[in-house]
Structure 1
């Protein structure tokens, strides 16, 4: 009987120890989760403060640029400055890009006043990029309430209807049936979604965009135009239109209404790294007569989106830098 009782007591003791081990493990796990949550909360608070400070730096820089320069081009300080700022236990990276050097999809809306020419220009650009020209046709219908495509997207899951209004963000392009993610990745660096009255800055536009301006501009001519900008850009539209290719074609008045040598819309990419955590943010900034305005803030973006062909930050510039590093090693 005593052996049975002692065995029973031993089992009880073992059960108590097992329960204590489980409870201790759970408490330790919950404590670790709470510590991680606290650390993440502290990181987010500090990183968001740094990101908002980066926006303030960009705003001040763009205002100073406006006061000191009559044009905007890729060799100005806002595009060439080193955007790395060391901070305690980390680094802040800033990259400012011009959005008016890209094709604005909202030019295809009725409000723009030249949607037909914009549609033709977008079709040319899509062809140049090896994409599908029919995207331009679907986009034109997406903006037009009289297009009769109300039920075109009813079979999507979930179903939706066309917006019939300007795009607020370029990612809305993915709602078109003709645009999958791979297609979007290919053409997005050349596109923007700005107010319909914004103009194209020919000082920051890549050769592909220049080529899409008019049917008579071929690849070679577009490359010559980009090269002729030099490191100071065109000082005026008349300077740009003085080229032989434009003298031979009488549509300068049409181009004057759509082009510019200045920019008011910029995209700021900010990356804040503190120890092993990173916060990224995309901010859309508008520079107007009354100052700088933040119009969008997106923390889902993971990398910057420089204008293709940017001699400072584009792929070609990176390749040149790699070649230089290899030759020096």
Structure 2
């Protein structure tokens, strides 16, 4: 073999070796990068899992608080009990747990608008609860919302909740209305799962929904309509105004006269001068209110290192003082 040929062979071999080394370096770099990504992913899952268990610990703690409260005062729920102390934070190893318990009967349950199997036929007079809900919408004083709009919102919500596909009244909406949209869907014809579901319902607007969140709530799969007069916030007299049909000033005065421990009985509230002078209040209207609550929501946020976990837990206090979980929602509401 000549010297020239030998040099050519040596050059090709060198290039081949360099290519192999380069390829090996690229593969090693990619493998290292993927390994680091997998390690980081595993670490994130571990941190998030720990934050999750911190949130579940907050839920267990809230259950114990409610059990203790109902063991002491099972017939009355008020804002001086320990569950109502507001947002509370607890330091834990490498993180923090923040939680707050809300009374889900200190607001109007929108599912209470769902008609039963023997619902009033279309075209007849609206039910009192529907008229009260219209008054509540009007009392929100949302710009541009008229009595006509309030009626249409109520009709559409009732149609969304009822079990049939028949339009209840002029403002109602059923399958044909929703399926004709640019992005079609069908009404639930069932209970609301969340108040944010209102954004799917005809006639409701974002300003109305945002304002309504301060006065209304959703208890899933339940049409319970019992508002606790002990836990209504003092800045929510509109609830009394709408559902009792009394002047706003009387409702404000009644809530202002409420002591921290609230009323022991419903009659004690309705015997207040500002309430009893409204002689047109019916027994059915009185039945909408109570002094004890059984549904509560815990909103908790747990942090562990740089990981966060938000959990909302809806709980029910059973007759035997056990606490059952109705639903859990992951993420901020």
Give TM-score scaled by structure 1 length.
Answer: 0.82
Instruction: Flag structure 2 segments of 5+ consecutive residues without an equivalent.
Output: 121-125, 168-173
Number of the residue aligned with 1:201: 228
Q: Cα distance, 1:293 vs. partner? A: 0.6
- 8 Å CA contact 2:253, 2:274 repeated in 1: no
Match of 1:28 among 32, 47, 54: 32
Question: SS of the residue aligned with 1:43?
Answer: helix
Question: SS of the residue aligned with 1:165?
Answer: coil
Number of the residue aligned with 1:325: none
Match of 1:249 among 258, 279, 287: 279
Number of the residue aligned with 2:153: 135
- 8 Å CA contact 1:207, 1:226 repeated in 2: yes
2:209 is aligned with 1:184: yes
2:101 is aligned with 1:96: yes
Structure 1 CA distance for aligned equivalents of residues 264 and 284 of structure 2? 19
Number of the residue aligned with 2:316: 286
Structure 2 CA distance for aligned equivalents of residues 183 and 19 of structure 1? 62
- 8 Å CA contact 2:101, 2:297 repeated in 1: yes
Give TM-score scaled by structure 2 length.
Answer: 0.81
* Mapping of residues 140-219 of structure 1, within 5 Å: 140-144=158-162, 145=164, 147-148=166-167, 149-156=174-181, 158-181=183-206, 183-194=208-219, 195-205=222-232, 206-218=236-248
Residues 29 and 235 (structure 1), Cα distance of their counterparts in 2 relative to 1, 3 Å cut? same
Instruction: Flag structure 1 segments of 5+ consecutive residues without an equivalent.
Output: 304-329
Structure 2 CA distance for aligned equivalents of residues 25 and 226 of structure 1? 69
Question: SS of the residue aligned with 1:18?
Answer: helix
Q: Name whichever of 178-187 and 200-209 sits farther off.
A: 178-187
Residues 58 and 198 (structure 1), Cα distance of their counterparts in 2 relative to 1, 3 Å cut? farther
Number of the residue aligned with 1:116: 127
Structure 1 CA distance for aligned equivalents of residues 186 and 138 of structure 2? 27
Q: Name whichever of 191-200 and 165-174 sits farther off.
A: 165-174
Number of the residue aligned with 1:236: 265
Residues 7 and 217 (structure 1), Cα distance of their counterparts in 2 relative to 1, 3 Å cut? farther
Deviations 1:193-216 (A, max 9, x none): 222134011122222322322333
Which has the greater radius of gyration? Answer: 2
Structure 2 CA distance for aligned equivalents of residues 118 and 138 of structure 1? 14
Number of the residue aligned with 1:226: 255
Deviations 1:128-174 (A, max 9, x none): 22344232121122233263322111023553222222223333322
Higher helix share: 1
Structure 1 CA distance for aligned equivalents of residues 15 and 319 of structure 2? 82
How well do the aligned residues superpose, as a CA RMSD in angstroms? Answer: 2.5
Q: Name whichever of 105-114 and 130-139 sits farther off.
A: 105-114
Deviations 1:43-64 (A, max 9, x none): 2332222222221111111111
Residues 107 and 7 (structure 1), Cα distance of their counterparts in 2 relative to 1, 3 Å cut? same
Residues 207 and 13 (structure 1), Cα distance of their counterparts in 2 relative to 1, 3 Å cut? farther
- 8 Å CA contact 1:211, 1:217 repeated in 2: yes
Q: Cα distance, 1:36 vs. partner? A: 1.9
Number of the residue aligned with 1:52: 56
Residues 13 and 226 (structure 1), Cα distance of their counterparts in 2 relative to 1, 3 Å cut? farther
- 8 Å CA contact 1:241, 1:252 repeated in 2: no
